[in-house]
Structure 1
Amino acid sequence: MPSERRLRRVTRLRRSLACAAMLALVPLGGSAIAATDRATLEQLRRGDVRLAAIGHRLATGNAVLCDDRVPAIGLVVHAIDQYSADEQGDARAIFGFDTAVAIEGVVPGSAAARAGIRPDESIVSVNDRPIPRSDGAGHVHTRDSFVALLDAQPVDRPLRLTLRRAGRDRAVVVPPSPGCRSYFELRPGPALDASADGVQVQISGAFLDRFSDDQVAVVVAHELAHNILRHRRRLDAAGISRGVFREFGRNGRLFRATEDEADRLSVYLLRNAGWDPELAVRFWQGPGTRIAGGIFYSRTHSSPARRAELIAQEIAALPAGAPIPYRPSLLARQDAPLR
């Protein structure tokens, strides 16, 4: 197993994004790469794909709940300039990078998987539009430019991708697969941290280390609910403080209101994506208690026991025989001012 120190260092260099599409890696061979480096990157790949599969299932299963939809074909992608200059040689040797953007993984059962797309292929074009070239800006600029290109394509039409591996191109047609515009990103660190900024959902790798996929889905559904309910925008409009005073007074009250609202919507997100929402009740009654962070945390979040209670109440209020997918009345609050 790669050391935690090495894992953190490589993860800082390469942050893959599990988006409505996905990003990936490509091997050329020929370079002698340390076994620990390869093992570290393969460990990161497994984590990225695992989170991607959970996020993809939620994003596509709840597409009817989202006004802002994008092609959610089930790829995990990254770009060569997400690596530092002294790491790019190793990255090319392990993952290929025949172009600036490559496929790290493919979500099983996704539209991309059904089209025959495989890990370790590079992306040449999308609907005959060339992918962005690395401009040296570094970090995630090239990756995000590719995601913008993909998101600009029609959600209700097939996508034509040109892929390259070992210098040979092939064309694939991916069937339509609309999903909510949200991107799922794994970040390093031993703390149990999760956040949503209106577009991205980020969770720490500690969740994958400590919880099952079903349990991680509870956390991801909660964060996706924040994005669907436009909580960041609504909190900003309410003039709340995100600094040292976020836990106090009106700030803490409004933060807690959005956290409770996200828990309630997560019931429907899980159900629409094929999970039993009772998972969320059991999570907050048991393993989720590890996430609670003391007195200040409790000012912005209900206690785990209260969260389990709120979720159970929402499940009980679900209409008998409600269809799947189901649009709850809670969505009417997407643009309601927070007071």
Structure 2
Amino acid sequence: MTVAQGAEPVSPSQITQFESLRAVDLRLATIAYRLTTANAALCRDLSPTPGWAIQSLGQYAPASRAAARQVFGFERPIAVEAVVSGGPAEKAGIRSNDSLVSVDGAALPSGDPVAGPANSITRDVALALIAGKPIDRPLAVELVRGGTARKVAIDAPAGCRSNFEILLTPGMDASSDGVVVQIGVRFFERYGDEAVAAIVAHELSHTILRHRQRLDAAKVDRGLFAELGRNGRLFRATEGAADQLSVSLLYNAGYDPLNAVRFWREHGGDVDGGLFRSRTHPSANARAAAIADEVARIPAGAPRPYVPAVLATRDQPLN
């Protein structure tokens, strides 16, 4: 492999690793696009949803940046990692490895990342800028590809405002902090997209139902006493509510919500000891049964988007 003078050598294993990461991020981006756009009517906080995954060069450790440039382009610090098939970004002519220069005339960071540990600050700035744009008009995006700049307009539909990212951890981890939904890479390694969509819908439901803010307002203990007494009861209540709402999110996005029932019946044991701790989350069997009950509440042939009763609880204090 030819290496430019002064550049760090790039190994075939690094190339393979980064292409694998792109494939997983595209799977998550595709699921997220379906769920957020199909359920926009259920969400108060909306943002333009182009149907892409973007990343920054600074997310990678300095020793990996030469490989990241080779695989992902990075003619600018922000680049399009992957594009959802059939989505608005693809229809506008955007392709993987296009670098982003500006959005609606607002310039994105242009300098190389500073030396030091990897961080997502530059990417998060870009995501926040895009999310803050109006949802009633196309996004005007300036790109550069192969040294050639161009401008496109993306007819990005409104979607539930949330960021999504892969956790490169060994456990079966998933979470929502009200802003970012994180899904462990192990879910993508073990299960197909229909099953993973059930996990993503559950975490997105926490965001829509404002569980982080409501739990904080209830002053729950997230430490040693999280599983005990009132703390455990409130955590379990929010998990049950998120399971309920996830059924409608899946239905509205064209997924079969019974896949969530099958997941908990067949694979609940995979996660019970990690992500879903016994006294802050219901058991896998209890979750499967509750989700099945919620599926049965959706009338046959109900129009989409279907709005479930649990949505009305999102402003109620937890006590």
Bin for the TM-score computed over the shorter chain: over 0.9
Deviations 1:7-39 (CA, angstroms, capped at 9, x unpaired): xxxxxxxxxxxxxxxxxxxxxx95652111111
1:273 correspondence with 2:253: yes
Q: How does 1:292-331 map to 2 (within 5 A)?
A: 292-293=272-273, 297-331=277-311
In structure 2, which of residues 8, 24, 32 is the aligned counterpart of residue 55 of structure 1? 32
What is the CA RMSD across the aligned residues, in angstroms?
Answer: 1.7
Q: What is the CA–CA distance in structure 2 between the aligned matches of 1:288 and 1:248, rounded to whole Å? A: 22
- Displacement of 1:318: 1.8
Q: Which amino acid aligns with 2:46?
A: R
**Which residue does the alignment assign to 1:100?**
77
Deviations 1:86-123 (CA, angstroms, capped at 9, x unpaired): 33233223322111100110011211111121001101
Q: What is the CA–CA distance in structure 1 between the aligned matches of 2:193 and 2:310, rounded to whole Å? A: 26
Q: What is the CA–CA distance in structure 1 between the aligned matches of 2:42 and 2:69, rounded to whole Å? A: 40
Which TM-score applies when normalising by structure 2? 0.93
Q: What is the CA–CA distance in structure 2 between the aligned matches of 1:166 and 1:117, rounded to whole Å? A: 13
Q: How does 1:94-133 map to 2 (within 5 A)?
A: 94-133=71-110
Q: What is the CA–CA distance in structure 1 between the aligned matches of 2:69 and 2:193, rounded to whole Å? A: 31
Q: How does 1:101-250 map to 2 (within 5 A)?
A: 101-134=78-111, 136=114, 139-250=119-230
**CA 1:320–1:87 in 2, change beyond 3 Å: closer, same or farther?**
closer
Which TM-score applies when normalising by structure 1? 0.88
Deviations 1:140-168 (CA, angstroms, capped at 9, x unpaired): 11111111111121112111111101211
- Displacement of 1:326: 1.3
State the secondary structure of the residue aligned to 1:300.
Answer: coil
Q: Given that residues 58 and 273 in structure 1 are in contact (C-alpha distance below 8 angstroms), is that contact kept between their aligned partners in structure 2?
A: yes
Q: What is the CA–CA distance in structure 2 between the aligned matches of 1:188 and 1:113, rounded to whole Å? A: 27
State the secondary structure of the residue aligned to 1:105.
Answer: strand
In structure 2, which of residues 32, 41, 44 is the aligned counterpart of residue 64 of structure 1? 41
* Pairs aligned (count): 310
State the secondary structure of the residue aligned to 1:124.
Answer: strand
Q: What is the CA–CA distance in structure 1 between the aligned matches of 2:21 and 2:61, rounded to whole Å? A: 17
Moved more, 284-293 or 126-135: 126-135
Q: Given that residues 101 and 110 in structure 2 are in contact (C-alpha distance below 8 angstroms), is that contact kept between their aligned partners in structure 1?
A: no
Structure 2 runs not aligned, ≥5 long = none
In structure 1, which of residues 282, 286, 301 is the aligned counterpart of residue 262 of structure 2? 282
Percent of residue pairs identical: 49
- Displacement of 1:253: 0.5
Q: Which amino acid aligns with 1:78?
A: Q
- Displacement of 1:288: 2.5
Q: Given that residues 49 and 158 in structure 2 are in contact (C-alpha distance below 8 angstroms), is that contact kept between their aligned partners in structure 1?
A: yes
- Displacement of 1:52: 1.1
Q: What is the CA–CA distance in structure 2 between the aligned matches of 1:103 and 1:321, rounded to whole Å? A: 38
Q: Which amino acid aligns with 1:207?
A: F
Q: What is the CA–CA distance in structure 2 between the aligned matches of 1:249 and 1:56, rounded to whole Å? A: 38
Moved more, 170-179 or 240-249: 170-179
Q: What is the CA–CA distance in structure 2 between the aligned matches of 1:332 and 1:318, rounded to whole Å? A: 16
Structure 1 runs not aligned, ≥5 long = 1-28
Q: Which amino acid aligns with 2:69?
A: R
State the secondary structure of the residue aligned to 1:117.
Answer: coil
State the secondary structure of the residue aligned to 2:277.
Answer: helix
